[in-house]
Chain A
Amino acid sequence: MSLRQYELMIILDPEIEERTVAPSLDKYLTVVTTEGGSVDKVDIWGRRRLAYEIKKKSEGIYAVIDFTASPATAKELDRQLGLNEVVLRTKVLRREESKAAAAPAVAAEAPAEADAS
């Protein structure tokens, strides 16, 4: 079972308390650690305006998580997040190792690189 590096971006319902975000993210990410992966970095951007409404919400709480896991685990995590009412949207992308290491901190909050294939 080979592990891969992933980057997860998640948009949460803006109505939840901002300080409950980190604990609940940890809870969602337990599936990664129990299945032999690791969570490398959690970056909570906080509240941000959406470019368009999602589920009638014009704001969302953004978080970007870097993790290492097997493909099956990543898929399972995405599935579980999709079932969650509080999660407005998710995106799981592969990080390319060489680029991820070399990428300079971009103007926004997070470094690391994203590429869908």
Chain B
Amino acid sequence: MAKAVVRKPKKKSNPLKSAKIDVVDYKDSALLRKFISDRGKIRARRVTGVSVQEQRQIARAVKNAREMALLPYSSSAR
């Protein structure tokens, strides 16, 4: 009989931002770059491991930063 596979969800290493930042600012493009893929897409929450509220802040900040040409809408489209 097959062993029941109980997959323990790996706890994400602390949301990396809870290090210090409590407010995500669209001007901080260095920080926001950690939350976008190399194609410029916003990384999913299951990848980033941040809370819902934080993810929402990040998404809004990224979108504001894109409008001001601090981040690309899309990059290196092959």
- A residues lining the B interface (CB < 8 Å): 9, 11, 50-52, 54, 60, 64, 89, 91, 93, 99, 103-104, 106-110, 112-116
Contact = CB atoms under 8 A, between A and B. Distances in A.
A11 B21 contact: no
Interface residues of B, number: 22
B52 to A, nearest CB: 17
A11 B68 contact: yes
Contact of A52 (B29, B60, B73): B73
A96 to B, nearest CB: 9
Given A91-B64, A107-B30, A113 B70 contact: no
B28 A51 contact: no
